[in-house]
Chains A and B, each alone.
Chain A
């Protein structure tokens, strides 16, 4: 078995993306079976998460893995044990994969230096959230007729890019898939050196549609940033950086990593509209995370045999 980490999509290649997409499709079509049988998967969540943790846990269990789950509020994680000590302990228990969520960027790569198990980053601070971007690509590809159909499409990533680990994974992943990406954000919620991505920066959802966006990828605005020195008010934010019914038209798809602030980044009546891919993103999570776990633990060849 060869452990393979999924920590960052910053330099992800097209072949790697394709591998995950194809395996996720196999999973969805029931061709993978219990390929994680006999594997031990640990979830170490150093910050609260319901959706991502549930998605990973279901993916691992349905594929037959033994799952150990640690989260803040229970266990040593709340007793102030350090990240490194927790990882070393889990390593000695004999895990095959560690799925880690942590409030600080770099936590997953730090963990990977202290275990021989495969490390899967389930979100580290404002750093990376690779499986989210992978499931986004899968859901979007499926709605457009396949991964190959992504090339040349235009997607606007809208909202708090400065603090978004989702954006830092989606930007390179979408780019590698051939999608043209633009950024739409208040200047206070963009990194000072956002030019490093060499992407157009637009001023509103309206401008994004004029630019030709077929995908509006909406980011969550954290409550504590909704007023004050970064954003003057929810009303002003929603006016320029929120998507409403008036933005919907044939061929435009709305995505969001969840959980949605209704009435802030997405108007209430848009969340479950036909143009919304949000439910598809959630269901893609199981297939994609199973694929990632299989690749991370080197379980794929065994399944084929």
Chain B
């Protein structure tokens, strides 16, 4: 959010198909932005500065609660500038950064430092998830009240997860008292000895495999503890049919929320057959049966929203045999197109549900985002649903190139992204030229 020069000025975006399930908006309308906020949505609006968006769709900006921008520590793979550029290119206007950096974000000074840097260097709203335990080692709780004062949005164990249930339980109780949500990576490492899903592809390929129970058992533990402690728990990257069903079972008993990723919604463990390190990710890609159940859970709201788990890795960490490669995929820049292509066009998921899952629901989770209600921050994604494009290394803004979609044809593309009234991504300058 480095350039805010015109934030106070008025802008009218004209002629886009506005779709915001949280405000009940669905139709061709104009949006007036003033003071960085949504001032008016209606017909035939005019202003000093106008932006012709006819033919495009206009959504509340997407919110990604799960990203690794590798800062501090591995800036050669991603930093706040490149990460936020990638986010903006994908229509994301709010992003939560995970704490498994180097050093781990487990001390107030580290958190406040990163919050300040993000204010200067990020094009989009960037939030910090602080570590749930010191060093993410699963033993000692972090200073959660101080972390909150330092600016942490929530706490998380993402990366290694929490292997000790007692520490997880105490962490939930303490986080609740500190007023912090807990974002959990559910993985039982005593079961997770492999690098791919323990299925047909692993059997044939001979790659060390991890059973689905590694995720399911840890998810069950987290849900039971959430019910017992009353903590505000969010389970990230749910990837199996059973874990989705467990979330569903506990939804009535707790305030638990959950997300899944674009890749678990669109790819399967068939890719293991390539033996390419590129396709290693954690949780691993699952078989088609799990993918189908996860899609249904997203459709019916059991899984509240989508988060990308954007995880950049340098080529030398990926150009390896599967079992030696680092786990993780880029996510920001392909999320909308992959889900629009595969789920909306391919599986008849309503576009409004996709927008709710990418904008409204995660925006509510972060707080105050993901809506075009009058007075809301003017965070907007503009999409051309007709554009067809191919994901290519050269087209990625991220500093890394580990996208599982390289070479894939996609339908639908983000052409403009606005944060607080400012255009932070403008892929088709001519089309989005602001008329003054």
Q: A residues touching B (Cβ–Cβ < 8 Å)?
A: 10, 82-84, 102, 104-107, 109-110, 124-128, 164-165, 168, 191-194, 196-197
Q: Mark B385-413, 1 if CB is under 8 A from A, else 0.
A: 00000000000000000000000000000
Q: Mark B198-210, 1 if CB is under 8 A from A, else 0.
A: 1110111111110
The answer on a CB contact under 8 Å between A192 and B198 is yes
Q: Which residues of B contact A107 (CB under 8 A)?
A: 321
B74 CB to nearest chain A CB (Å): 18
User: Can you sample 28 A-B contacts with CB below 8 Å?
Assistant: A83-B321, A102-B321, A104-B322, A105-B205, A105-B206, A105-B207, A105-B323, A106-B275, A107-B321, A110-B276, A110-B319, A124-B321, A127-B206, A127-B207, A127-B275, A128-B206, A164-B206, A165-B206, A168-B204, A168-B206, A191-B198, A192-B203, A193-B198, A193-B199, A193-B202, A196-B203, A196-B204, A197-B203
| A125 with B206, Cβ < 8 A, contacts A82-B320, A110-B319, A110-B321 known | yes
B215 CB to nearest chain A CB (Å): 15
Count chain B CB atoms within 10 A of each CB in A83, A107, A110 and give the residue with the most: A110
Complex Cα gap A83–B352 (Å)? 47
Q: B residues touching A (Cβ–Cβ < 8 Å)?
A: 198-200, 202-209, 211, 275-277, 316, 319-324
- Dominant secondary structure at the B interface: mixed
Please give me the residue from chain B that is nearest to A84 by CB atom: B319
| A192 with B321, Cβ < 8 A, contacts A109-B275, A126-B206 known | no
Complex Cα gap A126–B208 (Å)? 8
Q: Which residues of A contact B204 (CB under 8 A)?
A: 10, 168, 196
Complex Cα gap A177–B319 (Å)? 35
| A105 with B321, Cβ < 8 A, contacts A110-B275, A193-B198, A193-B202 known | yes
The answer on a CB contact under 8 Å between A191 and B321 is no
Please give me the residue from chain B that is nearest to A196 by CB atom: B200
Q: Which residues of B contact A191 (CB under 8 A)?
A: 198, 202-203, 209
Please give me the residue from chain A that is nearest to B204 by CB atom: A196
| A192 with B323, Cβ < 8 A, contacts A82-B316, A106-B276 known | no
Complex Cα gap A196–B200 (Å)? 6
- Which of A125, A165, A197 contacts B321 (CB under 8 A)? A125
Complex Cα gap A104–B207 (Å)? 8
Complex Cα gap A47–B369 (Å)? 53
B326 CB to nearest chain A CB (Å): 13
Complex Cα gap A194–B209 (Å)? 13
The answer on a CB contact under 8 Å between A192 and B211 is yes
The answer on a CB contact under 8 Å between B321 and A106 is yes
Complex Cα gap A83–B203 (Å)? 24
B223 CB to nearest chain A CB (Å): 25
Please give me the residue from chain B that is nearest to A192 by CB atom: B198
Please give me the residue from chain A that is nearest to B322 by CB atom: A106
Q: Which residues of A contact B211 (CB under 8 A)?
A: 192
Complex Cα gap A106–B274 (Å)? 8
B407 CB to nearest chain A CB (Å): 14
Please give me the residue from chain A that is nearest to B275 by CB atom: A106
The answer on a CB contact under 8 Å between B206 and A193 is no
Please give me the residue from chain B that is nearest to A107 by CB atom: B321
